[in-house]
Structures are given as structure tokens and as C-alpha cells.
């Protein structure tokens, strides 16, 4: 489990393909503190550390992960947001993030707003976003602004802009999206409830 509060930005230094799997090596300020088998969020994707060497660590992505995220677009030099798993008893400064990406969205527009920035993100609606609710973009816990059926906005403060890969995000770039787990559970239960109501009426 994660909180969406980014600890460090890393840089992809090597990509190796082995069958359907992709091994990604990342250099970061927190790589030296990692251990093999440790879970680590990379742009919101929960991946397991399989190797660690001085200031780098390596993770492996399987075909399912590549199909559901933007990880397949990574290349040497790509900047990624990193967060270690939440410690039991620690503060939940963002929101509950599983590291299980739901879908890939697209950055549609970046607007400067007096020292902060608004990012408009395009996505396929499934009624999981609410105004002032939570969403995770590339591993960053953010507040939803003005959602509709095809897009929503988030506001990025200067600190987040400087310490994540949002400063490299441009219109047309893909982003990993994870919707709020509480909203997903409610949507699932409501769908099941509607099915029971329809069944009882027939």
C-alpha cells in the first residue's frame, strides 16, 4: 500500500527484454536504501525490486503490467516518480494507493496559473471520479477538479512540480491513472445492487 506522496524522482538507466518480461534499472537517491523483494511504486505501478547495486535498483514488469500501464513506453533517460510502501502506523498524507494502475490517460493541456499549474487529463469515463475527490497520476496523490465524461483537471503546486516528473509532462504524453479504491468498491456494489433490482422486477 502507498500514499501517493513521492519520495524521489529516478531515471531509467537500462532496459532489458527477456521473453515477454522487461527488466528496468533505475538510478535514484533512495536506491541504496532498498532491499531485494521490496515493493516500490514507479509512476504509480507497484513493482518488486529484483536487484540492487549502489545507486541503482532493478525491477521486472510482466506482460500484464506492460499492457495496462505506460511502462512499455519507458526508455533510457525516462524520469519516474518513486515511493516506498507505507509503514504501518505511519501518517497517510495522501490517500490509499494500491499501485495497481486502472487505465492510461493522456495529458491534454498544461496551463500556468500564477505560480502553479493546471493539468488537463483525458480518460475514458467509468463514473469513478468526483469533484474534489482523489486520483493517483503517475503515483502522485492529487485532487480532482471539474471532472466530466472525457477529462478532468488537477492543480500542481511548485513543490510537486519540481520534485516529480510533472515538470516533464507535455500535451500528448501518457500517464498512469489509479482511481480511489473506495470509489471502486462503491461502484462495484452499486452495479451488483442494480442487477439484483432488475432481476427482481423480471
For residue 147, is pLDDT > 80?
Answer: yes
Do 116 and 32 contact (CB within 8 A), yes or no? no
Question: Can you give the residue range of the structural domain that contains 22?
Answer: 8-84
pLDDT of residue 197: 77
pLDDT by residue (tens digit) across 170-180?
A: 999 999 999 99
Confidence of residue 111 (pLDDT cuts 50, 70, 90): very high
Q: How far is CA 72 from the centre of its chain?
A: 14
CATH number at residue 30: 2.40.30.20
Q: 37, 55, 84: which is the final residue of a domain?
A: 84
92 domain-assigned: no
107 and 183 in a single domain? The answer is yes
131 and 180 in a single domain? The answer is yes
pLDDT of residue 90: 78
Number of domains in the chain: 2
Find residue 65's DSSP bridge partners: none
pLDDT by residue (tens digit) across 70-90?
A: 999 999 999 999 999 998 777
51 and 14 in a single domain? The answer is yes
18 and 59 in a single domain? The answer is yes
The strands making up 134-137's β-sheet, listed across from edge to edge, are 140-143, 134-137, 174-179, 103-113, 116-122, 151-156
Count CB neighbours of 34 within 10 A: 19
Amino acid at each position: 500500500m502507498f500514499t501517493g506522496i513521492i519520495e524521489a524522482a529516478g531515471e531509467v538507466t537500462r532496459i532489458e527484454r527477456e521473453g515477454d518480461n522487461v527488466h528496468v534499472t533505475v538510478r535514484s537517491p533512495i536506491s541504496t536504501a532498498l532491499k531485494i523483494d521490496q515493493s516500490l511504486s514507479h509512476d504509480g505501478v507497484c513493482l518488486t525490486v529484483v536487484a540492487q547495486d549502489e545507486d541503482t535498483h532493478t525491477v521486472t514488469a510482466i506482460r500484464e503490467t506492460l499492457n495496462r500501464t505506460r511502462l512499455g513506453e519507458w526508455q533510457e533517460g525516462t524520469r519516474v516518480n518513486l515511493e516506498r510502501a507505507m509503514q504501518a502506523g505511519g501518517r497517510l498524507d495522501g490517500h490509499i494507493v494500491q499501485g495497481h494502475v486502472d487505465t492510461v490517460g493522456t495529458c491534454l493541456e498544461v496551463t500556468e496559473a500564477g505560480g502553479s499549474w493546471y493539468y488537463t487529463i483525458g480518460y475514458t469515463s467509468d463514473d469513478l471520479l468526483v469533484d474534489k475527490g482523489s486520483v493517483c497520476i503517475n503515483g502522485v496523490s492529487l485532487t480532482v477538479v471539474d471532472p466530466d465524461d472525457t477529462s478532468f483537471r488537477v492543480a500542481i503546486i511548485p513543490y510537486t512540480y519540481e520534485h516529480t516528473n510533472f515538470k516533464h509532462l507535455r500535451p500528448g504524453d501518457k500517464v498512469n491513472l489509479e482511481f480511489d479504491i473506495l470509489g471502486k468498491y462503491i461502484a462495484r456494489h452499486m452495479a451488483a445492487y442494480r442487477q439484483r433490482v432488475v432481476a427482481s422486477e423480471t
